[in-house]
Amino acid sequence: MKLISLNINGLPVEVEEGTTLLEAARAYGVNIPTLCHDDGLSSYGACRLCVVEIGPPGKSKMVSSCTYRCEDGLEVRTHSAKIMKTRAMMLELLVSSSPQSKTIQDLASAHGMTKQRFRPEHEDCILCGLCVRMCAEQMMSSAIGFVGRGPNRRITTAFDEVSEVCRRCGGCMYICPVCTSRCHGPDEEATLCNACLNFSPSCVAVYDDVQCWMPPECGTCVRPEGDYLPATGRLATEES
């Protein structure tokens, strides 16, 4: 197998031909956030969270690392200021479309997002297409698919009826980043966290002294502000 050498964040790395930038970065311990990617499924490149900068500074362009294959001598930056700003903006858009998803909240919080400026939509789906690919590629079923386009795009079974080919395997729900660890908001009886009771809007804000038990260490509510925010990832908050 031919080896390809490239440079990720100043670190010279060697990977096998055909490896994507995301795989290469993860293999070397560089964590790139993703929402529409799963190792067992084909790459889709739609959430745009995994964007990285390639090329020399000043002449760089952004590509999705989950689809871009490593090239010899490529210069890659995964956490530059530009990238962090882009990711933060993308997460803010995602939070505004699905404010109840724990996964998205965690990612947003890790990128220093402390307030949401866009009007929340309360959609249940971010159209990452993981379930569609899961159904087609792993379950060989294609019971669900995308219909419509633009804002009317949604995922559904054929003709919105109970599908004949669906085996109720639950793979789609298993893989879904929005409903697997979904935050249902404050509920004093049933939930441990409840930090969002005191927040406005919802629990994307930061709170100081509440214990959070949600795996995997979300930390949305417990870490003090400023502690974990990469300086570059912070959104401009002139508005306040």
> Which chain residues interact with another protein by CB under 8 A?
43, 45-49, 51, 62, 64, 67-69, 82, 85-86, 89-90, 93-94, 96-97, 117-119, 126-127, 142-153, 156-159, 163, 165, 236, 238-239
Smaller CB distance to another protein: residue 129 or 193? 129
Q: Rounded to the nearest whole angstrom, what is the least distance from the CB of residue 8 to another protein in the complex?
A: 18
- Alpha-carbon separation of residue 213 from 123, 217, 236 (angstroms): 25, 7, 30
Nearer to another protein, 211 or 240 (CB): 240
Q: Smaller CB distance to another protein: residue 93 or 197? A: 93
Cα atoms in the Cβ-side hemisphere of radius 13 Å centred on 20: 20
| Least distance (Å) between residue 61 CB and another protein | 8
Torsions phi, psi for 77 (to 5 deg) = -125, 125
The token duo for 150 is 């633009």
What is the per-residue DSSP string for 52-97?
EEESSTTS-EEEETTTPBP-TT-EEESS-HHHHHHHHHHHHHHHHH
Task: Give min distance, CB of 234 to another protein, in A.
Answer: 13
Least separation in angstroms between CB 135 and another protein: 9
CB-nearer residue toward another protein: 159 or 190: 159
Q: For residues 57 and 65, what is the distance between their CA atoms, to the nearest angstrom?
A: 17
